[in-house]
Structure 1
Amino acid sequence: MVHINMLDPTASPLDYYGWELRRRREAAGLTLQQLGAIIFCTGSLIGQIETTKKVPTRDFSERVDAGLGTDGQFSRLIGLVLRSQLPTWFQPYAEMEAKAAYISTYQAQLVYGLFQTEEYARAVLATGSPDDLEGLLSARMERQRILERLQPPLTWVVLDEAVLHRPIGGPGVMRRQLERLLEFNEHRWMRIQVLPNSAGEHPGLAGAFNILRFADHPDIFYTEDMMSGHMTADPETIKQASLHYAHLQAAALSVSDSAALIARVMEERYEDRSQRDAVA
């Protein structure tokens, strides 16, 4: 007799997803292989998702909805599933980030998570040697969907110049990441300023931080260390953080000068060797 792994659909969003996928597939009278043929993947992959051994992606969910005629059920559920894959301590911030009307962030080490390319994010996340890199990566990419809304949050990033020079993932990855930053800087709802090395000492020396503002909720200040995140709505903290951020903006290059610096670093430090070789 084939052993069937029985899931508790109340245990987690991922367990519910797997349980519901199996229920819907069996209700349609399909084997794993038959459904796989319909949605262009292996039956083994579907089985692993049904038993929570693999985390589904948004693309997989959309194909399941089309193949089983489930009226977008799995496409709606996948956001909850992927958010549940984020570190437990980070989930409260991610929930508030998704509701924010205005995001102000200073980043000293890395490109802000919402602005990271998939390649860059993979290289960053891999440094922690996670058990499920793909699940974490999918969760980070899911966070970025808030920027695709008709009216996304106004997002203002002050980026330390050191971030541009830190070769995360190698030259090709960095070139594509800086290209992405230039694209964001042309977006109506997004702005990037670079804090140059010449700024010397500044209020951001203590590390990265974010300020979230809402239409109907007190502002939130967020920062994190290596192992956890810290979020507060304390008015005095928000006041002090906002003052620090104003000083950082004043010390940073203008938006247009920042774009010029990003482009210059991209061309000088992360030259596209394939184009150079083609020209040669």
Structure 2
Amino acid sequence: MANVRRLDPTASPLDYFGSELRRCREAAGLSQKELGDCIYCTGSLVGQIETAHKVPTREFAERADAALMTDGCFSRLVGLVLRSRLPTWFQAYAEMEARATYISAYQGQLIYGLLQTPEYARAVLATGMPGNVDDLVAARMERQRLLTCGRSPLILVVLDEAALHRPIGGREIMRTQLAHLLSFRDHRWVSIQVLPFESGEHAGLIGSFNILRFDDDPEIVYTEDMISGHMTANPDTVREAARRYASLQAAALSVRDSAALIAHVMEERYGEQPERDRTAVAQVVLQRQHRR
């Protein structure tokens, strides 16, 4: 029997999406199963989304728009829904990020979030052991839509070489992730530089940070600690962050040389290895553990 739980559409973006989906479905004279058949999913999934027990994907929203002829209503709503699934402390930053004209990012440990593949993002987000990893991954992928929108910001990224070598999620996930980075070589609005190990001490040792610039608003510096994120428009902080970022860019490899290094690491570290090579690596690991 269909779940007839009634939602308060003002409770959250997810509740509003669910109530609108039910309203439009019923107005079209369709059952949950019939709508599911139209958009290639189960009637149970339709029911879970209508009752706010399941977060819709963008694909679901676009298919629902087509089936119910809602003129893009659900495609517009789903972005708000997915953004609402982000941690509360991060939502304000995500809103500012979507409005930025320029984004300068330094990442010392991980691949920058806007450049992560879904599999890499899942492995990273799962380390916090949340119960809603699927929602968080979907929300991160939704943020990346600004890379393909008509008004993409200019995104400058400096990655520490350590982020290329740390095997997040395993060999296959890392190989796909590095290949994804290489796909931005000819992207007009994305620039990726790698800060090599040979740089030694550098201006980013204090941690990762992002600088957001806007057409009409003050610049913002964003940092994170173990618990949450922090934004500030303090002029002294913005000035210091800009100085440090300029220093990092100067110490980093060129865009072309960075791509060559990424390709090298992808093949040497995450490419196909003969069995004897894997055995040799395993022996080295065991020897290190024995000496501890």
TM-score between the two structures when normalised by the length of structure 1: 0.95
Which residue does 1:235 correspond to in 2? 235
* Structure 1: distance between partners of 2:126 and 2:192: 26
* Structure 2: distance between partners of 1:168 and 1:18: 35
| CA deviation string 1:24-46 (max 9, x = no partner) | 11111211111111111100000
* Structure 2: distance between partners of 1:79 and 1:272: 39
* 2:93–2:231 contact (8 Å) kept in structure 1: yes
* 1:220–1:238 contact (8 Å) kept in structure 2: yes
Q: Tell me the SS of whatever aligns to 1:89.
A: helix
Which residue does 1:278 correspond to in 2? none
* Structure 2: distance between partners of 1:273 and 1:150: 42
What amino acid sits opposite 2:190 in the alignment? Answer: M
For the aligned residue pairs, the C-alpha RMSD in angstroms reads 1.4
Give yes or no for the alignment of 1:104 onto 2:104: yes
What amino acid sits opposite 1:62 in the alignment? Answer: E
Aligned-residue identity in percent = 68
* Structure 1: distance between partners of 2:183 and 2:165: 19
Which residue does 2:281 correspond to in 1? none
Which residue does 1:19 correspond to in 2? 19
* Structure 1: distance between partners of 2:128 and 2:22: 33
* 1:191–1:255 contact (8 Å) kept in structure 2: yes
1:185 deviation in Å?
2.6
What amino acid sits opposite 1:168 in the alignment? Answer: I
Which residue does 2:67 correspond to in 1? 67
* 1:117–1:177 contact (8 Å) kept in structure 2: yes
* Structure 1: distance between partners of 2:6 and 2:146: 34
| CA deviation string 1:248-278 (max 9, x = no partner) | 111111111111110100010000469xxxx
Instruction: Give ranges in structure 1 of 5+ residues lacking alignment.
Output: 275-280
Which residue does 1:247 correspond to in 2? 247
Q: Where has structure 1 moved over 6 Å in runs of 4 or more?
A: none
What amino acid sits opposite 1:155 in the alignment? Answer: I
1:133 deviation in Å?
1.1
1:125 deviation in Å?
1.0
Of 41-50 and 24-33, more deviation after overlay is shown by 24-33
Instruction: Give ranges in structure 2 of 5+ residues lacking alignment.
Output: 275-292
* 1:99–1:214 contact (8 Å) kept in structure 2: yes
* 2:2–2:47 contact (8 Å) kept in structure 1: no
Of 154-163 and 1-10, more deviation after overlay is shown by 1-10
